[in-house]
């Protein structure tokens, strides 16, 4: 199948708006920089930084209303005046999410949702999850990514809570740039033609002007803190790795036993069905949801600079073509979901905010695991901490450090290996061999350790033990790593890992 065929299939099910999101993601990712963020072609407007006397419209403006929308009612509950500016519709995600039970519980712990509301979002619970490698083993694990839940309903619910708490939501508005002053940030926004402001109250009057002035209207908001929640489209999303991911909710797959069928009680966390092709190790995942529905994704790890224009479309073409070699059945895609998930290997400088009053969150900050890319889990685990950080910035207090997990220093190098597969056709099964050795090791270390890696809870010393055991099972692994990184980078990584293991990170 070619790209046009793939677009036609996505459009048929998802409509024009979803296709626009797909094109936008592909275009922005390859032309990042604030000047490009608005329309991908227009230069950013010249913005004057606000002086100390400037009127302040909001305490916090969120640029982007995807998953980070979760922060908005929490900030409003702290007494902050909050606005969310979203180029499409805030809370209308083109995603499905899986998580571990403990992560979903965090939503109730923050009081964002009631335990009953959290329970009602869960569409499936699994007996166990499994990772399956081409010409290798099948390794079950319990208690990790064991819930599938309704992402659209979650964000719909959060949006109504945000509105009830007085958050102003600007749908159809793009953030085009900003300028930071001593006490506030001025944010340039532009309506995409059908911009709509829904205000829970307290919206500044000129927001109303922008909203009502029709096609292509432009305006400015002044805020104490700009929260960059533009995900992979943020001009500051400089993480060195990226995981292009496509697929969505599929019906018609055969249920039953065996690798090529769906077991509705098992979540397939990671699976490969082939070796390295076209310089990439493609991977699948399949999470059964409501009866007869399965969320299936195809993705690969890559270095940011290796992902060219139209990568999501090319991957969609492969998805439609190769899904029959992964699972049997006359499948039909009923809800396309896709995106680029940035990942930071911890081997390069961290994505950083451009000023004191700009806070990067979610995928823009990329503090989630570079190996599992579970941004949802990472976001919900750190909601309170992130809300604290934003509140401190709004109050002009010294910035709280960006929290990170020591484990990611270790997993980052594994992600870099996955992103740079050997190109020699004779080595096309290298990564499958490595993955098989790694997961056989994890499985042998026990369910608790295996699950801890997937849930992002493994300690650094446990990770070092894990590495040592892989070395016993596959002695070549150290030579491969040395060849891939060179002694200097490897030495730096070893020191960071040792410091993390000693608990000094």
Measured at the alpha carbon of residue 420, what is the angle toward residues 367 and 314, in degrees to the nearest 5?
Answer: 85
* Measured distance CA(100)–CA(104) in Å, rounded: 7
* DSSP states of 477-500: HHHHHHHHHHHHHHHHHHHHHHHH
318 contacts ligand FAD (rule: CB under 6 A): no
Taking contact as CB under 6 A, which single stretch among the options 5-13, 200-208, 338-346, 492-500 is the one that binds ligand FAD? 338-346
283 contacts ligand FAD (rule: CB under 6 A): no
Residue with tokens 């036609």: 8
175 contacts ligand FAD (rule: CB under 6 A): yes
CA 60, chain centre distance (Å): 22
Taking contact as CB under 6 A, which single stretch among the options 94-102, 133-141, 302-310, 470-478 is the one that binds ligand FAD? 94-102
* Measured distance CA(402)–CA(387) in Å, rounded: 12
* Polymer length in residues for the chain: 505
63 contacts ligand FAD (rule: CB under 6 A): yes
Cα distances (Å, whole numbers) of residue 427 to 110, 318, 431, 432, 438: 48, 22, 9, 10, 18
Q: How far is the CB of 402 from ligand FAD (least distance, A)?
A: 14
Single residue of 129, 351, 375, 433 touching ligand FAD by CB under 6 A: 375
366 contacts ligand FAD (rule: CB under 6 A): no
Taking contact as CB under 6 A, which single stretch among the options 156-164, 217-225, 356-364, 453-461 is the one that binds ligand FAD? 356-364
230 contacts ligand FAD (rule: CB under 6 A): yes
Taking contact as CB under 6 A, which single stretch among the options 92-100, 118-126, 403-411, 447-455 is the one that binds ligand FAD? 92-100
87 vs 159, beta carbon nearer ligand FAD: 87
206 vs 474, beta carbon nearer ligand FAD: 206
With CB atoms as reference, the residue minimizing the distance to ligand FAD is 375
Q: Which residues contact 191 (CB under 8 A, 6 or more apart)?
A: 172, 173, 210, 211, 213, 214, 215, 216, 217, 218
94 vs 440, beta carbon nearer ligand FAD: 94
377 contacts ligand FAD (rule: CB under 6 A): yes
367 contacts ligand FAD (rule: CB under 6 A): no
* Measured distance CA(60)–CA(431) in Å, rounded: 44
Size of the site for ligand FAD (CB under 6 A): 34
Show the binding pattern over residues 263-282: x = contacts ligand FAD (CB under 6 A), - = does not: --------------------
Single residue of 36, 76, 81, 95 touching ligand FAD by CB under 6 A: 95
* DSSP states of 42-106: SPPPP-PPP-TTPPP-EEEEEE--SGGGGHHHHHHHTT--EEEEESS-TT--S--EEE-HHHHHH
Q: What phi and psi, each to the nearest 5 degrees, are found at residue 256?
A: 150, -165
Pairing of strands 82-86, 97-99: unpaired
Residues lying near ligand FAD in the complex (CB under 6 A) are found at 37, 63-68, 85-88, 95, 97-99, 174-175, 229-231, 233, 245, 297, 337-339, 341, 362-364, 374-377
């Amino acid at each position: 199948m070619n790209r046009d065929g793939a677009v036609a299939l996505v459009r048929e099910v998802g409509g024009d708006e979803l296709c626009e999101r797909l094109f936008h993601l592909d275009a922005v990712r390859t032309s990042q920089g604030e000047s490009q963020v608005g329309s991908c072609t227009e230069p950013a407007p010249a913005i004057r930084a606000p002086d100390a006397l400037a009127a302040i419209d909001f305490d916090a403006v969120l640029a982007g209303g995807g998953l980070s929308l979760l922060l908005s009612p929490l900030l409003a509950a702290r007494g902050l005046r909050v606005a969310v500016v979203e180029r499409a519709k805030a809370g209308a995600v083109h995603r499905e999410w899986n998580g571990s039970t403990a992560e979903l519980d965090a939503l109730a712990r923050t009081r964002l949702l009631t335990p009953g509301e959290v329970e009602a979002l869960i569409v499936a619970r699994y007996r166990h999850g499994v990772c399956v490698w081409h010409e290798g083993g099948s390794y079950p694990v319990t208690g990790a990514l064991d819930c599938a839940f309704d992402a659209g309903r979650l964000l719909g619910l959060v949006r109504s809570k945000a509105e009830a708490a007085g958050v102003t939501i600007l749908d159809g508005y793009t953030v085009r740039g900003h300028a930071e002053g001593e006490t506030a940030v001025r944010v340039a926004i532009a309506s995409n033609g059908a911009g709509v402001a829904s205000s829970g109250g307290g919206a500044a009057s000129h927001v109303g002007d922008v909203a009502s002035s029709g096609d292509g209207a432009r305006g400015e908001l002044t805020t104490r803190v700009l929260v960059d929640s533009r995900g992979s489209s943020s001009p500051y999303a400089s993480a060195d790795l990226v995981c292009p991911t496509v697929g969505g909710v599929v019906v018609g797959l055969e249920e039953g036993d065996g690798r090529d069928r769906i077991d509705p009680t098992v979540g397939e966390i990671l699976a490969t069905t082939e070796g390295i092709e076209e310089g990439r190790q493609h991977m699948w995942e399949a999470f059964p949801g409501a009866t007869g529905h399965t969320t299936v994704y195809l993705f690969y790890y890559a270095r940011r600079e290796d992902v060219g224009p139209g990568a999501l479309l090319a991957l969609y073409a492969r998805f439609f073509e190769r899904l029959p070699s992964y699972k049997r059945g006359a499948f039909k895609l009923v809800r396309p979901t896709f995106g680029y998930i940035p990942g930071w290997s911890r081997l390069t400088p961290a994505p950083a905010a451009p000023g004191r009053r700009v806070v990067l969150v979610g995928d823009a900050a990329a503090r989630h695991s570079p190996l599992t890319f579970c941004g949802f889990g990472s976001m919900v685990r750190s909601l309170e901490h992130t809300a604290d950080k934003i509140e401190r910035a709004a109050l002009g207090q010294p910035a709280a450090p960006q929290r990170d997990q020591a484990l990611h220093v270790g997993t980052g190098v594994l992600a870099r290996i996955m992103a740079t597969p050997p190109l020699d056709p004779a080595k096309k099964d290298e990564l499958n061999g490595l993955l098989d050795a790694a997961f056989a090791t994890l499985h042998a270390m026990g369910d608790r350790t295996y699950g801890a890696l997937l849930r992002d809870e493994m300690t650094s010393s446990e990770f070092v033990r894990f590495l040592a055991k892989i070395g016993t099972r596959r002695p070549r692994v150290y030579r491969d790593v040395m060849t891939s990184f060179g002694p200097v980078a490897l030495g730096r990584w070893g020191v960071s890992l040792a410091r993390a293991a000693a608990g000094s990170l």
